[in-house]
Amino acid sequence: MSASERGGRGAGAGGKSAPGRQKVRKGGNRTPSQRAWLERQLNDPYVARAKREGYRSRAAFKLIEIDDKYRLLKPGGRVIDLGAAPGGWAQVAAARVGRATGRGRVVGIDLLPIDPLPGIDLIELDFMADEAPDRLRELLDGEADLVMSDMAANATGHRKTDHLKIMGLAEAAAEFARAVLAPGGAYLAKVLQGGTENTLLADLKRDFAVVRHVKPAASRSDSAELYVLATGFRGRADSPASEPSED
């Protein structure tokens, strides 16, 4: 469900490419924007690192950097990855909650099929489907500690339209998070700078103790993407952890 990040850095002064930079030859059926995207992939150190370390996408390093700072993925934690394809974020989550030793749970959901990943439950389903919250809670065997989303709708090239589309996904993901998070849980989602992301932050502040924007180093500096991080979910009236215990 995640869209490809398009566009590329311009050439250096005088139109020359940077030393050692790989170029894609003109010709064939590629458009200029496709060539620019391919050149950026070929010259991106995070793409090369992802291949070396066995991650399915460079986006894995965004989550690693965010988690290194904010400690969202705790041993034994239950995690839902919305729009999980191709699986890079789910891989990071599985490693950090301890799936290799049988600890924690990680569930990935996407409209696209995802090749199997060890220790991770992957389902092909729209997270906005009525049955999705119950289905994922069942797979987790309880409520989630973290709902995360690196989703981005397919880009149109029109900045305002693309901003509104990704904000719509982030808002829908926030509603989903409210339905499945345990008290104290966290929500992390990609947004784009453009103004309306502040409306989402204000909305989240009603249900979470702390809400902030974060931009990891692995997020390209020329990209408008940010991540909204909400921690300390205050819970729902129907949450098992919110119900009074029977003595």
Is position 68 annotated in a ligand binding site? no
Q: What pLDDT, on the 0 to 100 scale, is given for residue 198?
A: 79
Residue 42 lies in a domain: no
Give the N- to C-terminal CA distance of the chain in Å, as an integer: 46
Is position 110 annotated in a ligand binding site? yes
- Rounded to an integer, the average pLDDT of 186-206 is 87
- Rounded to an integer, the average pLDDT of 9-16 is 35
Tokens 């409210």 belong to 178
Q: What angle do CA 221, 67, 138 make, to 5 degrees?
A: 120
Tens digit of each residue's pLDDT (9 = 90 or more) over 46-62: 677 778 888 888 899 99
Residue 37 lies in a domain: no
Q: What is the CATH number of the domain that holds 84?
A: 3.40.50.150
Active site residues: 190
| pLDDT over 50 (residue 247) | no
Burial of 12 (0-12, 13-18, 19+ CB in 10 A): exposed
Residue 163 lies in a domain: yes
| pLDDT over 70 (residue 1) | no
**With pLDDT > 70 as the criterion, what percentage of the chain qualifies?**
76
Q: What pLDDT, on the 0 to 100 scale, is given for residue 3?
A: 37
Residue 214 lies in a domain: yes
- What count of other Cβ atoms lies within 10 Å of the Cβ of residue 203? 15
Between 32 and 244, where is the model more confident? 32
Residue 215 lies in a domain: yes
Residue 129 lies in a domain: yes
For residue 86, cis peptide bond before it (omega within 30 degrees of 0): yes
Global pTM reads 0.78
How sure is the predictor about 246, in pLDDT bands with cuts at 50, 70 and 90?
A: very low
Q: Which of 3-12, 20-29, 228-237 has the highest mean pLDDT?
A: 228-237
Tens digit of each residue's pLDDT (9 = 90 or more) over 20-29: 555 545 656 6
Mean pLDDT of the residues in the chain: 82
The region of weakest confidence among 69-73, 94-98, 212-216 is 212-216
Is position 150 annotated in a ligand binding site? yes
Is position 108 annotated in a ligand binding site? no
| pLDDT over 70 (residue 206) | yes
How sure is the predictor about 161, in pLDDT bands with cuts at 50, 70 and 90?
A: confident
| Range of the structural domain that residue 228 is part of | 56-235
Q: What pLDDT, on the 0 to 100 scale, is given for residue 225?
A: 87
Residue 189 lies in a domain: yes
Q: How many domains does the chain have?
A: 1
Residue 160 lies in a domain: yes
Is position 37 annotated in a ligand binding site? no
